[in-house]
Chain A
Amino acid sequence: MLRLGICIAVFVTAMNLFAQKIDRSKPPQTAPLNSFRLPPVFETTLENGLRVVLVEDRRFPLVTLRAGFLAGSKFDPEQLPGLSEATGALLTQGTKMRTARQIAEELATIGGSLSASSGPDTLILHGSALAEHTATLVDLLADVILNANFPESEVQIWKNRRKQELIAERSDAAFWAEEKLATAVFGRHPYSRLNPTLESIDSLNRESLVTFRDHYVAPNNAVLILLGALPAPEETFKLLREQLGGWEKKELPSPPAVSFPDPVRKLILVDRPGSVQADIRVGRLAVPRTSPDYFPLLVANTILGGGASSRMFMKIREEKGYAYDAHSVLQPRRDAGLFAAVTQVRNEVVQPAIEAVQMEMEQLGKEDVPAGELGDVKNYLSGTFVMSLETQNGLATQLSTMELMGLPADYLEKYTQRVRAVSPDQIREVSRKYVAPERASIIVVGDASKIAKPLEKFGKFSVEKAE
């Protein structure tokens, strides 16, 4: 059993150090932030290969858990997108011991919840309960992991409901923008499939769910994180061994081949008649979470479009008034990442808005970021990181990212140092490699009758339907 006391040094620097007295005309002087200690972390691996992480945090009478599996949508068979999501959703809908209703009622009784979320790489069960009911929560978790039996009736209910939800989601412009961008960037890799289709939901059945579960819901493919006002660690480990020690190790199928298309510009206009705005994404392939380029790219992305002081926000919203929202995203996954600049503008300004976005993207690879701006962004990233540790959920999310994305054990401790270490040279370099617009795809969702013409300036767009 490994015991870690993680010490986080935040390095949010003070500003305006020369101000001498308190005076309304100047922002006040502040001192540097002291480092602080996270609650103690205990780690172990059970004999069946299940990694377990416990964090004692007694501020609130609650417990939070995550059971994470490398079983996200990239493991879906090509003809069955949505299988990972469906498996996660139906794990809690009936076991050999309990009906779906019994599970739901028992969870409510302990002030708890247990539900799954499926991402590109991972399938994660999220649980919580009032602390006095920790043992019941673990019992329920073990039951759904070991005994889920995917009752036909529940499978059918889920399928019917998910189809209606999907139809509703498809009425949203952002749904199409994200789908088409993922396809443009990831090509034939399963990362290109963000959502199930009506056809794939129809094709799902009990057998496909059971098979997926049997392959991937395995102790040697999982990490269990439990934090909050827990019993003593020895007692919690004992409980976990009793409940999950008999869970058998499995031979895991090999993951899909890691192969991505070279970044080549694709221009796609998704026609959405009646749109009063154009939803714009300019994006391309970026790095996996473990890449040495990740931190420089994180800083570059924040300079470009993170928060309300970013270059895109200042230019597109504040200076030009083209849009309410202008930001950029960096979505690192295990095998690759996605970078995109995002804005939704009124139809008349679609062309100058794209030009302005591309100019900002290009600029990052050309000129050094001024020291002041760079320091500000590093402060922002460090501060928001510390904020994410305030709640059990926030801490559980950080820990599960660390465990499931293959990050080093000193990830939390070194996060702000790694942000601090990024240099202007590195930012220029990664921006040329992953941000520069000439190899980025442009996806626009809007009313083609109004915006097709101004888009011609960027080349020939293929027009697709929002369906």
Chain B
Amino acid sequence: MVKKLVILKDITKTYQTGKVSYQVLKGINLEVEKGEFLAIMGASGSGKTTLLNIIGLLDKPTSGSYILDGEEVSKLSKQELAYIRNRKLGFIFQAFHLIPWATALENVLMPLLYRKEGISKKDEERAKKLLERLGLGDRIKAKPAELSGGQQQRVAIARALIGKPKLLLADEPTGNLDSKSSEEVIKIFRELNQEGITIIMVTHDPEIAKCAKRIKIIKDGNFIEK
């Protein structure tokens, strides 16, 4: 059993715009154990979303090594990365990112469509149960536009969970929500964490960050040691 789920060593990320290069991450070192609930805080432009994208395999680091669940992933091909994202990771975005023409249920099932096996009846039942648990049992046929922000984010959480991921990544999950909906989302996160799911959340809101077990603050591309 690998105890450490995420190991980042000297991760840097440089963006090149024409002749001007801009280093966003300057040698990040981070270890996340299984069952952790980590909040990464920082001002806008501090590099926290870039870091989360690298952890979530949506972006490649310029240099450094990244071991996810015991496997070095910084040199993998696009196909292999897609496979890992689908099986091991769950994403929750600030703007929910639901597919507008699909129903809540179809959105939740979307990640399973990219597996060789496709979607089974069992999967559908599981998706319905997930939506029920998140308080959307009566809205499974609703399109995203017919749902409130909080409801959309709960659909997105169900979509992130449907593939039974090892790691849940949330990028400002409450950024577009009112305080009541934010509380609900955080409550769900805590429950999920208690059930053993590892969560890494990026936020700039200290109140939200407080709910995590551990807080890391990023500034100018590196962590500030507390």
A binds B: no
Q: Residues of B with Cβ closer than 8 Å to A? A: none
